[in-house]
Amino acid sequence: MNMTLDHIAIWTENVEALKEFYVKYFGGIPNEKYINEKNKFNSYFISFKSGARLEIMSMPNIPENANDTIVKQHKGLIHIAFGVETKEEVENKAKELAADGFEILTGPRMTGDGYFEFEALDPDNNRLEVTTKE
């Protein structure tokens, strides 16, 4: 069996802002917005060059996430990582996000396991990484 990771889903209160973030900064291609009027659910699938996708979803009454993604992390899914080819691309993406007001949590830096990366937050404070292994 050849298994692939198909997609990761994120609940948000603003599907448009989160969709635009991943399109603008990470080259994602969104599908047409899906709307289910009955339960007020709406979503986009955002596809990336690798074949992986993000599903950005919204629906009333979804509670806030109790996980503190900024200071103290908890068990469970904690970040999304985007791979690039070079250290320069990592550095440039960190500069671009910082210049546009997004918080850079760590880096760019070399990790102990040989990656060059930085950690940042998207508009909903979801943690993400941009990384390369040169």
CATH 3.20.20.240 fits 79-132, yes or no: no
CA separation for the pair 121, 104 (Å, rounded)? 7
**Cβ atoms < 10 Å from Cβ of 68:** 10
**Cβ atoms < 10 Å from Cβ of 47:** 16
Q: What is the pLDDT along the chain (134 residues), one digit of tens a residue?
A: 877 788 999 999 999 999 999 999 999 999 999 999 999 999 999 999 999 999 999 999 988 877 777 777 777 788 999 999 999 999 999 999 999 999 999 999 999 999 999 999 999 999 999 999 97
Domain 7-58 and domain 79-132 have a common topology: yes
- Domain edges within the chain: 7-58, 79-132
pLDDT at 13: 92
pLDDT at 5: 83
Answer for the pair 104, 3: CB distance below 8 angstroms, yes or no.
no
* pTM score over 0.85: yes
Which of these CATH numbers, 3.40.50.450, 3.10.180.10, 3.40.50.620, 3.40.50.720, describes 7-58?
3.10.180.10
pLDDT at 11: 93
pLDDT at 110: 96
pLDDT at 63: 86
